[in-house]
């Protein structure tokens, strides 16, 4: 799947090669611990202080349950079934254009249990929004059958130090089959997350991978203006700009007509960030600002927060967002084998 745009044909090829369920934003950890790389695609928009994140979980056959843990910058106000064509339309838009042209980590809540904030069932997908420190979320995941890789404790703490909110998604392949879902059918999920500090979690994409393993992902950003990013995608750091231009009217019209996408503004800037690096390179996230203010090094994971980051469960004053303008954030995720027995091949 290297160097391929995540078009329908490429995605289908990847799914056919796999016998397990796959998420659009995932690295898959198989029962033998091997990691199968799939190119991933995510989209999120930030408008009026609300981040809209859309990803899709693809049914690729097989049976059993698979899960995904996704760090979030805030508590979702809404978790709904996503639109039917948003991700595909974004891929098509940028394909056409392309042819033309370590710090100390805090885990304040580690001694407490994770708190379940929301639970939503979407098709064959069970979504749980969790609040807690890395230790608490890790324990919750383990107790609920997630088999976490050895780097999970450090990675979960890395995220929890900035935002102790996570989404756990469990895809039930048996339920998908019972529902009549065919291989390749996707379940799009759309989260609306109030936040004033958008960031793209890239480090989570390397979860469970060895240092030299590749991470491939396409992250679509839609902002009011051309965004500043930290670190800047310069290619040498495992990410590069694949597309950067004013969003076309036809794209905005198509996006806004999809389910739950009425928030899409009448003008915006479309950026595609291609993640193409080793897991060892992706030790940071992608902070974004569409204003004159520079992106936050704390949001990028390059600096430790000086004080614990509050959990934003409500929209702050609208004035904050009036000067923030629009920016866009996409969220990473990782697919983890979910099994009642945590061990499969140890001594």
Partner 1 sequence: MALVTTLFVTGACAPAAPRRIEIRIHYSKFEPSTIQVPAGVPVTFVIRNDDPIDHEWLIGDAAFHARHRAGTEPVHGDRPDEVSVPANTTKTTTLTLPAGVYAYICHFPLHEQYGMVGAVTARS
- Give me the residues paired with residue 316 across strands: none
Provide CB contacts within 8 A for 253, sequence distance 6+.
none
Q: Given the complex with partner 1, which of 141 and 176 has the nearer CB atom? A: 141
Q: Which of 101, 104, 150, 310 binds partner 1 (CB under 8 A)?
A: 150
Q: For 158, list phi and psi in degrees, rounded to 5.
A: -55, -45
Q: Does 313 contact partner 1 by CB under 8 A? A: no
Exactly one of 317, 319, 323, 345 binds partner 1 (CB under 8 A); that residue is: 345
Stretch that binds partner 1, among 94-102, 142-150, 293-301, 326-334 (CB under 8 A): 142-150
CB of 347 to partner 1, least distance (A): 2
CA 39 to the chain's CA centroid: 13
Q: Which CB sits closer to partner 1, 156 or 261?
A: 156
Cα 101–Cα 272–Cα 331 angle in degrees, nearest 5: 170
Element holding 232 (H helix, E strand): none
Query: Three-state SS across 125-138?
Result: EEEEEEECCHHHHH
Sites for partner 1 among residues 9-38 (CB under 8 A): 32-33
Least distance in angstroms from the C-beta of 337 to partner 1: 10
Report angle CA 88, 90, 92 to the nearest 5 degrees. Answer: 70
Q: 54, 90, 130, 148: which one contacts partner 1 (CB under 8 A)? A: 148
Q: Count the residues of the shown chain that bind partner 1, applying the rule CB under 8 A.
A: 29
Q: CB nearer to partner 1: give 57 or 140.
A: 140
Residue 135 interacts with partner 1 (CB under 8 A)?
yes
The CA distance from 286 to 278, in Å, is: 16
User: Closest approach of Cβ 142 to partner 1, in Å?
Assistant: 6
Question: Which residues lie across from 276 on neighbouring strands?
Answer: 216
Q: Which stretch binds partner 1 (CB under 8 A): 2-10, 164-172, 264-272, 339-347?
A: 339-347
Instruction: Say whether residue 153 binds partner 1 (CB under 8 A).
Output: yes
CA distances from 307 to 45, 133, 243 (A): 27, 15, 36
Query: Residue-wise over 146-168: b if at least 16 C-beta within 10 A, else e?
Result: bbbbebbeebbbbbbbbbbbbbb
Among 50, 72, 152, 217, binds partner 1 (CB under 8 A): 152
- Is residue 145 part of the contact set for partner 1 (CB under 8 A)? no
The reply to whether 154 sits near partner 1 by the rule CB under 8 A is: yes
Q: How far is CA 74 from CA 52, 101, 131, 300, in A?
A: 11, 37, 9, 15
CA 277, distance to chain mean position in Å, is 17
Nearer to partner 1, 165 or 270 (CB): 165
User: Shortest distance, CB of residue 102 to partner 1, whole angstroms?
Assistant: 11
Task: Please report whether residue 306 would count as binding partner 1 according to CB under 8 A.
Answer: no
Which residues bind to partner 1, rule: CB under 8 A?
32-33, 134-139, 141-142, 147-154, 156-157, 208, 210, 341-347
């Amino acid at each position: 799947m290297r160097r391929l745009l995540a078009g329908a044909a490429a995605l289908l090829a990847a799914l056919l090669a796999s016998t397990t369920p796959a998420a659009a934003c995932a690295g898959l950890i198989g029962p033998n611990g091997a990691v199968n790389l799939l190119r991933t695609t995510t989209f999120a928009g930030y408008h009026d202080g609300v981040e809209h994140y859309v990803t899709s979980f693809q049914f690729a056959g097989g049976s059993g349950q698979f899960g995904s843990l996704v760090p979030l910058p805030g508590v979702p106000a809404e978790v709904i079934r996503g639109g039917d064509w948003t991700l595909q339309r974004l891929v098509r838009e940028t394909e056409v254009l392309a042819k033309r042209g370590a710090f100390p980590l805090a885990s304040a809540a580690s001694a407490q249990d994770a708190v379940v904030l929301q639970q939503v069932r979407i098709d064959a997908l069970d979504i749980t929004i969790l609040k807690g420190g890395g230790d608490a979320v890790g324990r919750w995941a383990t107790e609920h059958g997630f088999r976490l890789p050895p780097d999970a404790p450090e990675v979960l703490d890395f995220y929890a130090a900035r935002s102790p909110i996570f989404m756990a998604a469990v895809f039930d392949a048996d339920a998908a089959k019972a529902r009549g879902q065919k291989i390749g059918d996707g379940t799009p999920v759309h989260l609306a997350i109030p936040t004033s500090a958008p960031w793209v979690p890239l480090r989570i994409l390397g979860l469970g991978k060895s240092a030299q393993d590749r991470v491939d992902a396409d992250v679509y950003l839609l902002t009011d203006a051309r965004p500043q990013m930290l670190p800047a995608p310069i290619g040498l750091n495992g990410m590069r700009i694949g597309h950067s231009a004013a969003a076309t009217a036809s794209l905005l019209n198509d996006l806004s007509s999809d389910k739950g996408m009425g928030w899409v503004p009448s003008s915006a800037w479309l950026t595609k960030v291609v993640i193409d690096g080793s897991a060892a390179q992706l030790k940071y996230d992608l902070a974004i600002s569409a204003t004159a203010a520079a992106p936050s090094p704390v949001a990028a994971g390059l600096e430790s927060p000086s004080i614990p980051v509050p959990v934003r469960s409500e929209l702050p004053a609208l004035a904050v967002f009036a000067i923030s303008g629009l920016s866009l954030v996409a969220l990473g995720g990782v697919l983890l084998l979910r099994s009642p027995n945590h061990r499969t091949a140890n001594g």
